[in-house]
Amino acid sequence: MASGFAIVTPASRGLGFAFARQLLAQTNLPVVATARRDCDEVRSDLVNGITTSQKADERLHVFKVDVTDESAISSMVSNIRDVHPDTHLRLAITVPGTLHVEKTPSQIDYLKALDSFKTNSLAPMLLMKHLSPLLPTKSAAPFLDTPSSPSHPEDSLQLPTHAIYAMMAARVGSISDNATGGWYSYRASKAAVFQLAKTFDLHLRTRSRDRALAVAMHPGTVQTDFTRDYWEGRDMLQPHEAADRLLRVICAMGAGPDEGRGRCWDWKGEEVLP
Please give the full DSSP string across 29-41, using - where no structure is assigned.
--EEEEESS-HHH
pLDDT at residue 228 greater than cutoff 60: no
pLDDT at residue 153 greater than cutoff 70: no
CA–CA separation, 157 and 244 (whole Å): 9
For residue 191, count CB atoms less than 10 angstroms from its CB and return exposed for 0-12, middle for 13-18, buried for 19 or more: buried
CA–CA separation, 43 and 229 (whole Å): 28
* Tens-digit pLDDT profile for residues 12-39: 999 999 999 999 999 989 999 999 999 9
pLDDT at residue 150 greater than cutoff 60: no
Query: What is the band of 161 on the pLDDT scale with cuts at 50, 70, 90?
Result: very high
* Tens-digit pLDDT profile for residues 79-104: 999 999 989 999 999 999 999 999 99
pLDDT at residue 216 greater than cutoff 50: yes
pLDDT of residue 1: 47
Q: Which residues sit opposite 125 in a β-bridge?
A: none
CA–CA separation, 11 and 43 (whole Å): 10
Number of domains in the chain: 1
Q: What is the mean pLDDT of the chain?
A: 91
pLDDT at residue 224 greater than cutoff 80: no
The parent domain of residue 195 ranges over 5-272
Instruction: Supply the CATH number for residue 34's domain.
Output: 3.40.50.720
CA-based max dimension of the chain: 56
pTM: 0.92
- Among candidate residues 181, 147, 149, the one with its CA nearest the CA of residue 161: 147
* Tens-digit pLDDT profile for residues 54-72: 899 999 999 999 999 999 9
pLDDT at residue 260 greater than cutoff 80: yes
